[in-house]
């Protein structure tokens, strides 16, 4: 997931390590914190795969900063990683990273990911409801309150996904043209024949 996030951010613009770490924190900070100890090994892996390359512009003081940019091969790798609709793509962190770059996906792929995420959350909600029924009499009020909160948050996320899925489906399905009703026409009155002149 870290490689996917790095490639997605480098699609926007070339950045050096500090800028990348800052943008990762801004984009994904609520999901995980990225340290330099994980960022630079990920960048080296991407370099070995020729997905990113370094350029060395000089700053105002004349010191060189290692600036990373995505390559054509990296563009292809990013698209491949982003479009993988596997089971792990629906888990919290994996889904959140993909959702941050949803604009690069086709509507049909977005719908598949959203529907899988919804099914994943439905399973989580079902497990929470079962646990609440099973342990309600044996757990303290604080644990019970936490489980209630988790269930409510899961149900809120499901409603949010429902709205997203409907919005995406409207993009995929062409709008049906409204049939305009033609105004009713009155039956034509029979043509009046000219009266014969009486002899």
More confident residue, 29 or 151: 151
pLDDT above 60 (res 173): yes
Res 60: pLDDT: 47
Question: What is the count of structural domains for the chain?
Answer: 2
- Beta-strand relationship, 15-16 and 67-70: antiparallel
Residue 158 lies in a domain: yes
Q: How far is CA 104 from the centre of its chain?
A: 9
Residue 78 lies in a domain: yes
Res 117: pLDDT: 94
- Beta-strand relationship, 52-55 and 15-16: unpaired
We report the CATH number of the domain holding residue 52 as 1.10.10.10
Indicate the burial class of 134 (C-beta count within 10 angstroms; 0-12, 13-18, 19 or more).
Answer: exposed
Res 198: pLDDT: 44
Residue 158 belongs to what domain range? 106-172
Of 66, 31, 65, 38, residue with least CA distance to 52: 66
Residue 193 lies in a domain: no
Give the chain's count of helices (H) and strands (E).
Answer: 7, 3
Residue 167 lies in a domain: yes
Residue 185 lies in a domain: no
Share of the chain above pLDDT 90, in %: 53
């Amino acid at each position: 997931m870290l490689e996917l996030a790095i490639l997605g951010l480098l699609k926007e613009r070339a950045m050096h390590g500090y800028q990348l770490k800052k943008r990762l924190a801004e984009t994904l900070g609520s999901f995980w914190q990225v340290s330099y100890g994980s960022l630079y090994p990920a960048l080296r892996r991407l370099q070995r795969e020729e997905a990113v390359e370094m350029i060395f512009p000089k700053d105002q003081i004349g010191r060189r900063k290692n600036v990373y940019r995505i390559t054509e091969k990296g563009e292809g790798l990013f698209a491949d990683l982003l479009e993988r609709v596997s089971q792990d793509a629906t888990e919290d962190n994996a889904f959140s990273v993909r959702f941050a770059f949803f604009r690069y996906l086709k509507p049909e792929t977005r719908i598949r990911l959203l529907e899988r995420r919804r099914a994943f959350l439905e399973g989580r909600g079902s497990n929470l409801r079962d646990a609440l029924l099973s342990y309600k009499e044996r757990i303290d009020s604080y644990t019970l309150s936490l489980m209630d909160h988790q269930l409510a948050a899961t149900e809120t996320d499901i409603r949010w996904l429902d709205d997203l899925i409907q919005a995406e489906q409207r993009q995929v399905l062409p709008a049906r043209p409204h049939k305009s009703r033609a105004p009713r026409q009155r039956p034509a009155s029979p043509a009046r024949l000219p009266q014969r002149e009486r002899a």
